Each structure stands twice: as structure tokens, then as C-alpha cells.
A and B are shown apart, each in its own frame.
Chain A
């Protein structure tokens, strides 16, 4: 029968379609949800000096033993609140710096001649060919008191003695902006590149100056790229450990560093897990809200 003959390959198709759709879910389950549940479980335990260094969820008699002490501790010790806040502020400033630098760069690349465009894009991703750690070390060499920048300024006579760049917040901003700039440029480029240039011309034709046309047309249409770029920079910058550790001062405590210290220095896994869970919530909640407001804005207009 024709119908049976038709449905047989279809059924195979459906199976394959399900498999392909399932792969990302499986991935997320295995590498995101499962670790998350494990961390959540640890965050509800008490620390012990043992292997592993936390109490089991069920004691010998099989009773559930969980505690919210770790989360309570995060609230009582002001240090954590301050560190979270500082991390948010530092990540936000780094994100804005990346946006301010990345937007004109992405715009320039998107409007460049086609032959030049791929070369410029290559230059944007070229630093990735060198290890991230090496590049951060290179910045130490550039920024330290007798590094390239200070020596140059001394030679120029602009300064009498070296300026303290390294181990300051300034160095952290340089490091973050430098490292995450490509993550801002690439999504921005993707949105700007497929934008119809005649939209800007139409705005100018109807009485908008170049600046007005930019804010009326280019900026709102680039919004998706701006949001994507900001998330791609903000999220990793928020939990960044290496840059603050190597470039920042001993007093520049950011949450990534606290997390590291709780895990490996204090070996207080439950508290470290609680820090990680709160960090995740701090990141996820605003993103979900942002997403929702954007959907609403799209529907409303």
C-alpha cells in the first residue's frame, strides 16, 4: 500500500528528528543540570574534614540531613554581599567598555569592502590562537612598574616615576575589556552586517541627520546583537577568576576569586557551592527578566 510505503520512511525521519532535537537537551542535562544538582546538594550539606569534605545527604539511619547554614552565612557576613556587588559593578563596567569599543569596530567591519571584511574579522579572532593565560601574562609585562607602558612614559618624560597600573582595578578593566572584546564584536557584526543600508538612507532622506538616523534606525535594529554581545561579555566577566587574580590587587576581591578560595584554600565545599548557586541566580534572574521584557516589547509595538 502506498500509505504504508510513505509512512515507513516518515517514521524513520521522525525518529531522527527526535534524536537531533534530543542531543542539545542531553548535553544540557549531562553537563549543566546534573552538575548543578550536585552543587546544590553539596551546598545544603555541612563541611567536614573527610573525603569528600561534606556530610552526606542521608545519614546512617537514612534520615534526610540538609541545612541552609551556608546560605545564611552568605547573608550574615557582609564580605559576600560586597563582593557580589563589586563583581556585578566590575562586570557591568567591563561590558559597557566592550560595547563602547566593540560597536564602532563591528560597524566599521560590517561596512568595510567585502575583500577587507574577512581579514578584519580574522584579526578580531586572531588573539584566540594564543593561550588566554599567556595573553594575561603579557598584560602583566606591559602594565608593571618597569613594563613597556611605564618605560615609554618615563622615556617621553611625561612622568617622573612609574605609575602603579598593575594590581589595580584599572588593570582588571583593561584585562576584561581586552579578553572579552571579540565576544562583543562578533554578534554585533552579525546583526549589523545583514542590516539593509538603505534603511539608514531612508531615514536621512526623510529628514534625519546621520546621528539621528543612527539612533532611530541602526541602534534599535542592532539591539539583538547588543543584548547578545553584552550577555556574552557580562556572564563570563562576572565569574572571571584569572584576570582579577593576576592583574588585580590583593584587595580586589571578586566573586570568582572568593569561589576559588573557598573551594581550594579553605576546602569548605558546601559554602563554595552556596556561593556558586547564588552567583548563578544573580545571573539567571536578570536575564530571564530581560528576555521577558523584550518579548513583551516586541508584542506591544
Chain B
């Protein structure tokens, strides 16, 4: 033990107690030679090795927590279902070019079509049938996954960053700037989000990018509120006082000490909002904002398919009620959103100390 401490002193590094360093590992007699050789070989790198050990040691509590959380997650069947659903959609999104090679490489969201009347699932190699203008539903369902992932991640992350910055400033500095930011969020929050998004999308031209813009505009105020509330409580902690006492600047205190400790509750909202954004985006597309007909976007596909809904189409002399154009894209929206809601719900239980352990 003494030897170890001395060695640490020599190198000038701190190790947390009770952690074996190379020299303190009890060496069995028979292995003495071998051990010595190892030390000798690694002698030059022992300094960097120790440093590495220190880093892993400092990560240990985090790792332990993560392990515990992971174990708790895996134990909850609902969380696992959520993860499986998300993985499924992610797989479709990533493997889209292989599963459904695009007709035009520069416009993969254009669903290949044969301009004939809709065909039922299974007909002529169309696994899920065809829809408006004979567009292949399978292709749309696959590439729609990519569209949805892109839209939701971009909207939620952008809105979260705006919310974190504004909320942190508002909660930390208080006073006039707080009043200003809070009044602006009041205004945004007193207009129903779908209506505001519709109005913004209506002003802009109809495209997926503009839907994203409209959604970001709707989504940042709740995050700002959430972070502000967190910052208000976190900034009363003693470690913030300590940081101030050792002369940290405001900006450093805010973004290195307060904000990282305010993010936990946001994790749940972000997870669930990834699903919610897809729902609202699909709703907007369904109403006719955003993507044009024949784009691989699930909401638009439902509204394209609705034109044939409850009607009859004939294929090969047989009559069909075209349920497939509406059912499959809608089911995909459900799977995507449900996955994130299940995961978010499990995360909430996990992060709530009262429900944990």
C-alpha cells in the first residue's frame, strides 16, 4: 500500500482509494518473473497507463449508473418493446437504399410509379400494393421512415438548443431579459400549436423544409419554460456557489455547471417529442401543407390514399376495397411514435427517484 502511494506521488497523479494500480496488484510467487517482465516492458508507458486508469476510474460511477439503468430498462418489457420499435424504424431508414432502390438517385423521396390504377398488395411485385398514380406503397413506407427520422431529429434538436440557451439565460440572469423571454413564450403558448404551425406553413411555400421551420417555431417555447424552471432550482445549489467563490465567470457557471445539471427532465420530453413531431408533421402533410403528392412522407401518403378510401378498384377482374394505401403508412406513423413514447415513459420512471429501486 505504501509503495503504491509513493509511486503515485512520484508520478504526481491522484488515484481514488482502493483501486489497484499495476504495482499493488498482488503477484503470485510463480508469476513474479513474468510480472516483472511486464512492468519492464511497459515501463515507458506506465505513466500514460495510469492516466488511462484514472480516467476509467472517474468514469466508474457513471458506468455503474448506466449499467444499473440499462439493467432496469432491459427488465421493463415496455421499454424493450419501445427500443425494438425504434430500432425497426431506424433500420428501415438506414437500409432504405438497399431495401428500395430509388428511381432517381438525386430525388429518393419520389415514389416510383406506373401511372396505372391502384393494385392490391402482392400484385406484380408490389409487396404492399400501389396507390395514387400507381405509386409503390412499399417504397413510400420505407423511405418515409427516413423522412420522419430526419424531420423529427432536426426539429426536436434545434428547438431543444434554442430552448436551452433562452431558458438558461432567462432563468440565470432574471430581470428584464427574463420578463421579455417569458412574455414571448406566453404569446407562443397561447396559440394552439397545430394552428400556429399551419399558419406559418401557409405563409411559406409548401415544402418539407418549411414544415420543419414551422414546427421549430412551435416547439421551442415549452423547452424554454422547462429549462428556465430547472435553472431556477439548480442555481441555488452549493456547487454553484462554490464555482462562483473560486471565481468562475457567469458564462462558465451557467453552461458548465448549471445547464448540464438541468438537462435530465428534458431527456424525457425530447424522447417523447421525437414521436410527437412526427405526428404533427404527418398531420400538416395530411392537410396539404408540406410535401407534394407522391412524396415518400407517411402523412402525405395517407391523404393520397384517402382519395380511394371506401371506393372500389378492379384488378385482374376482381374488386378490392383499397385499404392498403391508408393503412400501411398510418401504421408506420403509429409504430414510430409508439416506440418513442414507450421509451420516454420508461425513461421517466427511471429518472424519477421516487419510482426507482
Q: Do A and B bind each other?
A: no
